[in-house]
Structure 1
Amino acid sequence: MNERLRQLLVAAWHACPEEERHPPAAEGDLRAFEVEFGTIPPAFREYLTVCGGRVGGDGEWIDGLPELADSHRQFRADNEFWHMRGVFIIGWDGGGNPFGIELSSGRVLVEDHDFGGIHEMAPSFPAFLAAGLSPNAEPGAAPDTAG
């Protein structure tokens, strides 16, 4: 994540009411999560240390560390229902669909249980975050979001 996006995220995070955001994640808590669930993708790990959870793309709520373990447990428990594989779940949309970072490409994907299919929400996690900060922008269109 580049410095411009980091600054925008921090400002947006501070603008949210306290009850709607998590504090930045501590390194020890991140390591404890990774012991049980595997390595957190680097861009998402950085996001958790900067914002802790909340600011998302297109109004989506991104899990903070407190919910992340529950989301991973839920996704694993319902694994036969979902078709997404190789995706690190980072939240659930308002329709109850899981979304996450595809480990092989870095794309942010969502699986739609109502209409079917797996769809790209953004070409990268930084682009997903930038889209959430500028809802009218095309994914990845915000300046300097590639990092």
Structure 2
Amino acid sequence: MTLQRMDNIGIVVEDLDAAVAFFTALGMEVEGRAQIEGLFADHAVGLDGVRSDMAMMRTPDGHSKLELAQYHAPAAVRDGSPNPQPNTLGLHRVMFAVEDLDDTVARLRSHGAELIGEVAQYKDIYRLCYLRGPSGIILALAEQIG
């Protein structure tokens, strides 16, 4: 048996509509939305009384997806700092390749994103930055320049 593909990355958010708007501004597309609850959800997630809303977002090329989930029950929990640093153990950032870094940052700022550091250039190859989006999600953006 072999691995077929990575299907998606799941991110729990506080405000699903704000997260959908944020990732739509980035250029992702909503593939679908659903309410998730019942024994299936309880068994799959390993929690009792799961009730959540989710949105599946996909990149324009259709190869990558984010599953955004807002838990209503049991309530979402936050471990540690409300704004973990990029070097915190665990999954904390998702990187996207973009065509125009400055335009993308400007669009995302209108949805509350904040630069963590600053836009930096790696040799004559990439311009990169990290920014924080809804629910503390860290995005890395890279524009190939060379």
Question: TM class by shorter-chain length?
Answer: under 0.3
Give the structure with the larger helix fraction.
1
Give the structure with the larger strand fraction.
2
Give the alignment's TM-score, normalised by structure 2. Answer: 0.28
Give the alignment's TM-score, normalised by structure 1. Answer: 0.28
Larger C-alpha radius of gyration, 1 or 2? 2
